[in-house]
Structures are given as C-alpha cells and as structure tokens.
Amino acid sequence: MRSTVSLWFAVAHRSFRRYSTYRAATFAGIFTNSVFGLIISFTYIAVWKQNPTAGGYDVADAVTYAWLGQAMIMTVAVWSGGATDDLAARIKTGDVAIDLYRPVSLLGWYLASDLGRAGYHLLTRGLAPMIFGALVFDLHYPANALVWVHFAVSVVLAVTVSFGVRMLVSASAFWLLDDTGVKHLAAVFAMFFSGLAVPLVLFPGWTSDVAQALPWASYLQVPADIWLGKDQGADVLAAVGFQVLWTVVLLLACHLVLARANRKVVVQGG
Amino acid sequence: MSVIEVRDVDRSFVVRHRSGRLRRTSTIVRAVRDLSFSVEAGEMVGYIGPNGAGKSTTIKMLTGILVPTAGSLRVAGHTPYAERAALAQRIGVVFGQRTTLWWDLPLRDSYDLLRRIYRIPADRYRENLATFTDLLDLGPLLETPVRQLSLGQRMRGDIAAALLHDPDVVYLDEPTIGLDVVSKSNLRDFLRETNRERGVTVLLTTHDLVDIERLCSRVMVIDAGRLVFDGSLEGLHGLGEARRTLVVDLMEPAPPLDVPTAQTLRVDGPRQWLAFPAEASAAPLLAAIAATHEVADLAILEPNIEDVIKRIYSTGPAPSD
C-alpha cells in the first residue's frame, strides 16, 4: 500500500518535471492567458456597468472571476490535454500495450500523472496571469485562511472531475481508434458548461440550475464561488461534496470503461 | 525445466469490413493455429517468420495482453492472461519499434519509475543499474531525456529497462531493427553475455538472420500462423534441398550450360550461376564444364540461411482456408 502511494507520488512528480521542460510554451501560454484575461475583464466591466448585480456578482467579483477562469483553463485542462491525451495517443499507436502489461493500475497511473501536470500548470499558467490581473485590477480575495483551504481542496477536485471526463473521452479511442471527434464535442460542452465563456450564474432561469448540476460546473464555477465567498458555511460543504460526488461517479465510470476496453483488447484482440 | 509451455494454441480475430452501404461482413482470421512448443530455462531461442506470420500475436499471448482462443500457455509457472500482474514481475519485454521509457524524462528517471513499478529492492536495483550502465555504456546517457537519444542509445536504454527487475524470461521483439552494424554487434554481445551470466531465457523475434546465427542455438520458424520448423540452426540449413551455387566465368559468352547434376539459374554474359546439391562435390561439375568450355574464373557460394528461409516461406501453407 505504502509503496503504491509512493509510486503515484513519483509519477506525479515526474509528470510535473516533464511539463516544466517546455519553458517557451509556458511563457507563451502565460502571455496568452494574460491577454485574454484583459479582454474578458473589459467585457465583464461593460456588462456589469449595465447591470451591477448580474448573477449576484458585483463588478469586482466579475473581474476576479475572469482571472480565475484564465488561471483554471490549463490547470483543469478545460478543453482537453494533459495525461489523458497521452493515453489517446498511445491507444492510436498501440503503445498502450506497454501500459497494459505493467503491474500497475492504468487509471491510477494516469490520474497521478495528470495531477502532477495540473500542479505545474497551477503554479505557472494559473498563478502568473492571476498576479498580472491583480496588478491591473482590484480583485476580491478569499476572506480568511479557511477559505483558502476550501479553495485549494476545490481546485484539486476540479482537476479530478475534469480528469474523469477527459479520461472517458480518451478511452473512446479504444473503440473509435481516434478520439478527435469526441474530443472536439467534449471541448464545446466543457467550454460552455464550465462557465468559462459566460459565468453559469448568468444563465437564465432553470438553465442555470441545470448547468450548475453538471460535472463541468466543478471546473470553474464551484471553485470561483468558494474563492469569492458566495458559498458560506454548509454551502461550502455542499459545493465540495458536489465535486466529490462527480469525482467518484466519473472515476467509477472510467474504471468500468477501462475494464471493458481491457477485455476488448485482450479477449477480442482489437 | 520448461519455463515457457505453449500447447495447441489457436488465436483468431474477427475482421469486419463494409460490403455494402450498411451491410458489414466479418471474416475470421486465424493468426496462430495449433501452436505448440516449449522453451527450457536458460535457452536462447530465435523466433522468425515473415510479416504477419503470427510472431507478435504469440508474444502478446505470452505477456498476457492477449487471450488465446484455444489451447494453453504457461510462462514461469503462470497463466499469462489470468495472472498478468504476477507474470509481469517475471518477464521483461523489449519492442524494437516502441519504447517502454518515458519520452520527456531523463533515462535515470525512467529507471527510477520502473524500480517503483516492479518494487525492486534498493540494493538489487543499485547493483543491476551499475552493471547495465557499465555493460551497455549508459553512463553518459543517464541524465539525457529519452527523446534526445539516438535509436541505438534508446535501444540500449530499453534493454536495460527490461532487465532491471531480474526477469526469468525476456521477449525481444526485433531489438536490432534500424541499428547500424556496430550497435547491432555490441547489442548481440551484451545479450549473449546476459543469457550466459544471468541464465535469462530469451525469446528473440527478428528479421535479421545474423541475430539468429550469432545468438541462438535453436530456431523456430512460423509461417501463416503455423510452426513450420523447430530445431537447431544446422537443422534449418539442412532442411529441404540445401544447395550450393557455382559461379563460373567463361572466356566467351555461351548459352546456358547443360550439366546433368546442376541447374543453371542465371546467365549474365560470360558469367553463369549453377545450383547443385550442398552435399555433392563441385569437382565433377567443374570437370564437366571444363570439358566443353574454357573457364576463366570460378567461385562457390555456400547455402545461406536467408535462401533456406525464403524457400520455407514460399512453400508454406496458404494464409487462410
């Protein structure tokens, strides 16, 4: 048990290191996130000038949300990317055979690897644009240390939920051989329902409730509301519980799908 | 003691293809049929056959990532597909066309991950790593990311990776593919030594018959899913009608020579190629030619394994029935 945990830590650590070797890509990404942060901030400022309490946010909340969104794009890998893309590529080339004969869990391996990646992206593509945004605008910050802790937990869960969704998309390659189509479709859903394009709290009427019940709400809306202090007391627990629930459901689904995929490859020889 | 036991193994695949706008038909392809062989501990066996003959299918079944349709397999006391995790501790695999190393990480990091995956005791790991670093000359490469290694360097890295956890059996799937002559030769030396010193059983698939000649005392030939030969290298040479070739340069171009004990294969100006049974003497043949023509020069080509195998492949059974 202990050696398994230490293996996952080693995998996460190596994955962190692996992404850190591409410095130029990191700097280019930080620049892009900062530019988009500016554009979205000015858009939100214009919107909230028209309606200063839209979605229960004030203008500072909205601008903070814009920068949190930029910080989370790569951290949770909203569209796609991360360890799950490696799996899809390895299915396509057949290298997945090597993963299969190793005496370790495929799901555990890729989850650990993706968490390591997310850690790197949080510290670079997450933190740097956030600092830039903080220098340019007046942002809202977590009210106390406890909120910081809640936020940190929520970010980790945002990654695990997103990992679950992306893993299912990648695993489709076991049947389709190429997951590009499914990936594009999933990216559109994620873009829309994560609240990255428009905060979910702005969705009209019942569509907002539906959107906030879907797994993608975990990516940005839930951690942002914790950061902004929109969730207090029991609501924080409910918000985090919501993310835990989706994590469990999705990882279970991944487990079943990978077991089926394994059966397909090993028994049918696909 | 047999470390690999394969009994009456069949593996078929269902291949579906479109045969109309919506209709799909499926055909069953038997990739491997009635395969039986066993390999003793410490043996080094060559496993050869043309592309698509069933070599990789066999290796996949032996690693447990493919279930046989019929028949039974045992490797190091385990049934591969049923006890894949346990088996993984006992086997090492090298795929010449793929890498088991992590592309973006220094070689040393890949080894460290493998140490954790296979739970290799610390002292054993240190010892093995030191040995392989020395024998495979990996020292200068350990801190280099795998993507920056040349093919030959990467292959050395992969071979060390497959051996770190002291497997009893190693499957080498085309380990010398794409390597230059010197790299090939060094790799063969290493493999021979590892086999001898550590008693590792090696199953080697390759298209390079020199690998087989240098390394393996036993060779198995598979064609169209069937084992068509299993025996010593000499036995393979003797298989069928092994023939030698006499190349004669006549003083003048001449029509194809007509000598009773030989068959004229080719004529190119004054040069002619005549095949004759390997066990027969070339002297009477030469005498017969010299009686009618003036001979300027001659050479005798010994049968080569490649020709023998070419003949086995081309007379093998049809791919499906």
The DSSP result for B107-150, as a single string, is: HHHHHHHHHHHTT--HHHHHHHHHHHHHHTT-GGGTTSBGGGS-
Alpha helices in chain B (DSSP H): 55-63, 84-88, 107-117, 122-135, 151-163, 181-198, 209-215, 233-238, 283-292, 305-314
Inter-chain contact B84–A98, Cβ cutoff 8 Å? no
Inter-chain contact A98–B89, Cβ cutoff 8 Å? no
pLDDT band of residue A221 (cuts 50, 70, 90) is very high
Dist CA A51 CA A55 (whole Å) = 9
Three-state SS at A200: helix
Question: For residue B296, which of B277, B271, B319 has the smallest C-alpha distance?
Answer: B271
Judge whether A65 and A121 are in contact, CB under 8 Å: no
d(CA A22, nearest CA chain B) in Å: 10
In the predicted model, is pLDDT for residue B19 greater than 70?
yes
A103 contact residues in B (CB cutoff 8 A): 84-86, 88-89, 117-118
Calculate mean pLDDT across residues B75-92: 92
Distance of CA B219 to the CA centre of its chain: 8
In the predicted model, is pLDDT for residue B321 greater than 50?
no
CB contact B104 to A (< 8 Å): yes
Calculate mean pLDDT across residues B8-12: 92
d(CA A17, nearest CA chain B) in Å: 8
In terms of average pLDDT, the best of A36-45, B55-64, B253-262 is A36-45
Per-residue pLDDT of B278-288, as tens digits, reads 778 888 888 88
Phi, psi of A55 (to 5 degrees): 65, 15
State which residue of chain B sits closest to A99, comparing Cα positions: B100
Inter-chain contact A266–B117, Cβ cutoff 8 Å? no
Dist CA B160 CA B135 (whole Å) = 10
Judge whether A137 and A42 are in contact, CB under 8 Å: no
User: CA B50, B53, B59, B62 torsion: positive or negative?
Assistant: negative
Query: What DSSP character marks residue A217?
Result: G
B93 contact residues in A (CB cutoff 8 A): 98, 101
Name the region of B119 (left: φ>0; alpha: ψ -120 to 50; beta: rest): left
In the predicted model, is pLDDT for residue B320 greater than 50?
no
The pLDDT, as a whole number, for residue A195 is 93
High-pLDDT (> 90) share of chain B, %: 45
* Residue A204, amino acid: P
State which residue of chain A sits closest to B11, comparing Cα positions: A269
> Looking at chain B from residue 46 to 75, which residues have their Cβ under 8 Å from any Cβ of chain A?
57, 60, 63-67
DSSP per position, A164-180? HHHHHHHHTHHHHS--H
Calculate mean pLDDT across residues B70-92: 92
Inter-chain contact A17–B109, Cβ cutoff 8 Å? yes
The pLDDT, as a whole number, for residue A4 is 86
Tell me the average pLDDT of chain A.
93
Nearest CB partner across the interface for A3, out of B11, B104, B119: B119
d(CA A232, nearest CA chain B) in Å: 43
Three-state SS at B244: strand
Size of interface A-B (CB pairs under 8 A): 64
User: CA A54, A59, A61, A64 torsion: positive or negative?
Assistant: positive
Dist CA B296 CA B252 (whole Å) = 9
The chain A residues in contact with chain B (CB within 8 A) are 3, 6-7, 10-11, 14, 17-18, 21, 93-95, 97-98, 100-104, 265-269
Calculate mean pLDDT across residues A140-166: 96
Q: Residues A195-201: contacts with CB within 8 Å, 24+ apart?
A: A195/A69, A195/A219, A195/A220, A195/A221, A195/A224, A196/A69, A196/A72, A196/A73, A196/A78, A196/A220, A199/A55, A199/A57, A199/A62, A199/A65, A199/A224, A201/A55, A201/A56, A201/A57, A201/A225
Cβ neighbours for A103, distance < 8 A, ≥ 6 positions apart: B84, B85, B86, B88, B89, B117, B118
In the predicted model, is pLDDT for residue B307 greater than 60?
yes
Alpha helices in chain A (DSSP H): 2-20, 23-50, 59-75, 83-93, 96-101, 106-121, 127-136, 145-171, 173-176, 180-193, 205-211, 221-227, 234-263
Judge whether B141 and B157 are in contact, CB under 8 Å: yes
How do the domains of chain B map onto residue ranges? Answer: 2-238, 243-302
A97 contact residues in B (CB cutoff 8 A): 60, 65, 98
Calculate mean pLDDT across residues B29-56: 90
How do the domains of chain A map onto residue ranges? Answer: 2-268
Dist CA B235 CA B315 (whole Å) = 17
Per-residue pLDDT of B132-165, as tens digits, reads 999 888 999 999 999 999 988 999 999 999 999 9
Judge whether B116 and A10 are in contact, CB under 8 Å: yes
Beta-strand pair B91-95/B169-173:
parallel
Per-residue pLDDT of A68-91, as tens digits, reads 999 999 999 998 889 999 999 999
User: CA A238, A240, A243, A248 torsion: positive or negative?
Assistant: negative
Pick from A98, A258, A262 the residue to mutate for testing the B interface (most B CBs within 10 Å).
A98
In the predicted model, is pLDDT for residue B317 greater than 70?
no
The pLDDT, as a whole number, for residue B259 is 84
Judge whether A32 and A40 are in contact, CB under 8 Å: no
To which residue do tokens 């066996």 refer?
B45
Tokens of B88: 């993984």
Inter-chain contact A267–B67, Cβ cutoff 8 Å? yes
The pLDDT, as a whole number, for residue B305 is 67
Inter-chain contact B63–A101, Cβ cutoff 8 Å? yes
Nearest CB partner across the interface for A10, out of B31, B113, B119: B113
Inter-chain contact B65–A101, Cβ cutoff 8 Å? yes
Per-residue pLDDT of B188-216, as tens digits, reads 999 999 999 989 999 999 888 888 888 99
B82 contact residues in A (CB cutoff 8 A): none
Task: Please tell me which residue, A204 or B319, carries the higher pLDDT value.
Answer: A204
Per-residue pLDDT of B215-232, as tens digits, reads 998 999 998 888 988 988
DSSP per position, A55-99? GG--HHHHHHHHHHHHHHHHHTTSSS-SHHHHHHHHHHHSTHHHH
Per-residue pLDDT of B86-129, as tens digits, reads 999 999 999 888 888 988 889 999 999 999 999 999 999 999 99
High-pLDDT (> 70) share of chain B, %: 95
A17 contact residues in B (CB cutoff 8 A): 105, 109
CB contact B170 to A (< 8 Å): no
d(CA B266, nearest CA chain A) in Å: 44
Task: Please tell me which residue, A225 or B255, carries the higher pLDDT value.
Answer: A225
Dist CA A224 CA A218 (whole Å) = 9
A104 contact residues in B (CB cutoff 8 A): 117
Tell me the CATH architecture of domain B2-238: 3-Layer(aba) Sandwich (3.40)
Three-state SS at B5: strand
Inter-chain contact B116–A98, Cβ cutoff 8 Å? no
User: CA A201, A204, A210, A215 torsion: positive or negative?
Assistant: negative
Inter-chain contact A21–B145, Cβ cutoff 8 Å? yes
Nearest CB partner across the interface for A266, out of B31, B66, B93: B66
The pLDDT, as a whole number, for residue B318 is 43
Inter-chain contact A10–B67, Cβ cutoff 8 Å? no
State which residue of chain B sits closest to A5, comparing Cα positions: B116
CB contact B109 to A (< 8 Å): yes
Task: Please tell me which residue, A268 or B26, carries the higher pLDDT value.
Answer: B26
Taking the CB of residue B317, how many other CB atoms lie within 10 A of it? 12
State which residue of chain B sits closest to A17, comparing Cα positions: B105
B28 contact residues in A (CB cutoff 8 A): none
pLDDT band of residue B319 (cuts 50, 70, 90) is very low
